[in-house]
């Protein structure tokens, strides 16, 4: 495909900044990355768009996504969850490549329509599961595939935050089922579920429990709105390969700002990872008496040769650079990318099954 690629962003706040920063960094640290042109920034508020256009380095703005999805080579769908399906499908119908933030949609049924549109399009799709692209996670994947851990028995994944502990914390669209689909289950659980699939394999069945701790929150104008999604979830899972696991997520975990951690135990060894120390992997090798901490910053570690000398750590924002590098190369080379919309759909089916399990009190097949 021709370069530079014309890029459109639907959304310009948290994730807009993260991905714009990644595109800015790519030419400096990944000189072989495809060249890009930040063409159009899409949103509803024209004044806010105009300000964000300058900050994020875009050429123009639009308040009508339908008018521009066929004018760009790649659409980054970074909007709220309720906007993931329709613009993405419209872009795919125009053979515009789509990179979508997680979760893929509000439900598995919505996600299925996106996968169907993907199958009928010549475009490449990608899901923003950026934690796959942490060097330590990539290193863990290599260890597992090489058989260093042996037969996998256990997976434990948890994603904990505390930004809603205060009952007076302000209401946002993330707390509305119509806008978000689910609460922490989709917002944080999508990441943990994807890492479980990426590192261990497909999940066969689940049982889950959801809880909402605060039923309404202030809106900032003296009013309140109801909270219609979960504040916390927990689930037990069984993998197709026979491993078992637990998943947990919460926005009420006092003292945890953005704590995403996993543990995997096999017949020969184990690994532990925490996003709070994302340059490290704790490894128990076969025959060792205890865990050793491996600093994943050597030049032969995944992606590290593009950054700083050994021991000079990288951070959360660099994961976006890595995923953008891989996705944009897939677009230019016309090759499938993973994680794709199908991976997003697979994760969403697990999340939906957890929610149904909570409602009926039974194990659910995925």
Mean pLDDT for 27-36 is: 98
Note whether 209 and 358 are within 8 A (CB). yes
Return the pLDDT at 2.
Answer: 84
Mean pLDDT for 150-156 is: 98
Mean pLDDT for 50-74 is: 97
Using only the alpha carbons of the chain, give its radius of gyration.
Answer: 20
1 band by pLDDT with thresholds 50, 70 and 90: confident
The reported pTM is 0.97
The encoded tokens of residue 107 equal 């439900």
Closest CA to 74 of 59, 86, 88, 63: 88
168 band by pLDDT with thresholds 50, 70 and 90: very high
Return the pLDDT at 220.
Answer: 85
Q: State the DSSP string of 302-353.
A: TTGGGSSSTT----TTHHHHHHHHHHHHHHHHT---SS-HHHHHHHHHHHHH
Do domains 5-130 and 133-315+325-365 share one topology? The answer is: no
Return the pLDDT at 55.
Answer: 97
170 CB contacts (<8 Å, ≥6 apart)? 217, 218, 219, 220
Return the pLDDT at 101.
Answer: 98
Residue matched to tokens 């502990």: 165
Note whether 262 and 139 are within 8 A (CB). no
Q: What are the structural domain ranges in the chain? A: 5-130, 133-315+325-365
Q: For the structural domain made of 5-130, what CATH number should be given? A: 3.40.50.720
Mean pLDDT for 187-208 is: 98
Closest CA to 332 of 29, 82, 97: 97
Distances (CA, A) of 126 to 46, 75, 115, 155, 329: 28, 10, 11, 25, 12
The encoded tokens of residue 29 equal 């640290």
**Distance (Å, rounded) from C-alpha 34 to C-alpha 96?**
16
The encoded tokens of residue 129 equal 């599961």
310 CB contacts (<8 Å, ≥6 apart)? 297, 298, 299, 304
Which fold, 133-315+325-365? Dihydrodipicolinate Reductase; domain 2 (3.30.360)
Mean pLDDT for 343-350 is: 98
Q: Indicate the average pLDDT of the chain.
A: 97
**Distance (Å, rounded) from C-alpha 255 to C-alpha 113?**
39
Helices then strands (H, E): number in the chain? Answer: 11, 17
Q: Is the pLDDT of residue 179 over 90?
A: yes
Return the pLDDT at 69.
Answer: 97
**pLDDT exceeding 70 applies to what percent of the chain?**
100
Q: Is the dihedral of CA 127, 117, 105, 189 positive or negative?
A: negative
State pLDDT tens for residues 275-313.
Answer: 999 999 999 999 999 999 999 999 999 999 999 999 999
């Amino acid at each position: 495909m021709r370069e530079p690629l014309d890029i459109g962003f639907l959304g310009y706040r948290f994730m807009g900044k993260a991905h714009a920063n990644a595109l800015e960094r790519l030419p400096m640290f990944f000189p072989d990355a495809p060249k890009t042109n930040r063409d159009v920034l899409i949103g509803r508020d024209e004044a806010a768009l105009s300000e964000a256009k300058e900050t994020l380095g875009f050429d123009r703005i639009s308040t009508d996504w339908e008018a521009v999805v066929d004018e760009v080579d790649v659409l980054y769908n970074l909007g709220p969850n309720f906007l993931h399906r329709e613009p993405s499908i419209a872009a795919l119908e125009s053979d515009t490549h789509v990179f979508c933030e997680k979760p893929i949609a509000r439900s598995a049924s919505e996600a299925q329509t996106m996968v169907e549109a993907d199958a009928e399009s010549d475009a490449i799709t990608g899901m923003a599961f950026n934690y796959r692209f942490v060097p330590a996670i990539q290193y863990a994947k290599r260890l597992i595939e090489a058989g260093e851990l042996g037969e996998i028995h256990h997976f434990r994944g948890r994603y904990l935050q505390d930004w809603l502990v205060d009952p007076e914390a302000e209401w946002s669209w993330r707390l509305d089922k119509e806008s978000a689909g689910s609460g922490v289950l989709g917002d944080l659980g999508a990441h943990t579920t994807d890492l479980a699939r990426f590192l261990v394999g497909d999940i066969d069945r689940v049982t889950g429990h959801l809880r909402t701790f605060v039923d309404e929150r202030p809106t900032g104008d003296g009013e309140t709105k109801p909270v219609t999604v979960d504040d916390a979830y927990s689930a037990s899972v069984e993998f197709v390969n026979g491993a078992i696991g637990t998943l947990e997520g919460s926005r009420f975990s006092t003292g945890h700002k953005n704590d995403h951690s996993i543990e995997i135990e096999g017949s020969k060894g184990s690994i532990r990872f925490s996003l709070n120390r994302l340059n490290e992997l704790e490894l128990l090798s076969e025959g060792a008496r205890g865990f050793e901490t491996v600093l994943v910053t050597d030049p032969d570690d995944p992606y590290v040769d593009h950054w700083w000398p050994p021991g000079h750590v990288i951070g959360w924002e660099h994961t976006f650079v890595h995923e953008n590098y891989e996705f944009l190369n897939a677009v230019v080379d016309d090759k499938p990318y993973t994680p794709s919309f199908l991976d997003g759909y697979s994760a969403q089916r697990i999340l939906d099954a957890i929610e149904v399990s909570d409602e009926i009190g039974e194990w659910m097949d995925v």
